[in-house]
Amino acid sequence: MNIKILDGGFGAQLSTRVSSKIDGDPLWASRFLATNPDAVYATHLDFLRAGADIIETNTYQASVSGLMKHLSITKEESINLLHEAVNIAKRAVNDYVKEIRGNNDIENKNPMIAGSCGPYGASLHDGSEYNGTYGKTTSRETMIEWHKSRINAFVDAGIDLLALETIPCYQEAEAIVELLREYPNVKAWLSFSCERNSQNIVDGSNWQEVATRCYKMALPEQIVAIGVNCVAPKDVTPLLKNVNKGTGNEFIPLIAYPNSGEIYSQSEGWVKNESPSVSFESFIPEWLEFGIRYLGGCCRMYAENIKSIREEVNNFKKKKEAEMD
Q: How many CB atoms lie within 10 A of CB 177?
A: 21
Q: Give the burial class of 65: count Cβ atoms within 10 A of its Cβ; 0-12 exposed, 13-18 middle, 19 or more buried.
A: middle
Q: How far is CA 325 from CA 9, 249, 315, 320, in A?
A: 38, 28, 16, 9
CA distance 153 to 9: 23
Q: Which helix (H) or strand (E) holds 292?
A: strand 292-295
Which amino acid is it at 9?
G
CA distance 282 to 33: 35
Q: What 3-state class would DSSP assign to 158?
A: coil
Do 168 and 211 meet the contact criterion of CB atoms below 8 Å apart? Answer: no
Q: What is the DSSP letter of 92?
A: H
CA distance 92 to 41: 6
Spatial CA neighbour of 188 closest among 160, 163, 205: 163
CA distance 122 to 86: 20
Is residue 214 annotated as involved in ligand binding? no
Helices (H) and strands (E) in the chain, counts: 11, 10
Phi first, then psi, for residue 164 (nearest 5°) are -90, 100
Phi first, then psi, for residue 24 (nearest 5°) are 90, -15
Is residue 194 annotated as involved in ligand binding? no
Annotated binding site for Zn(2+): 230, 298-299
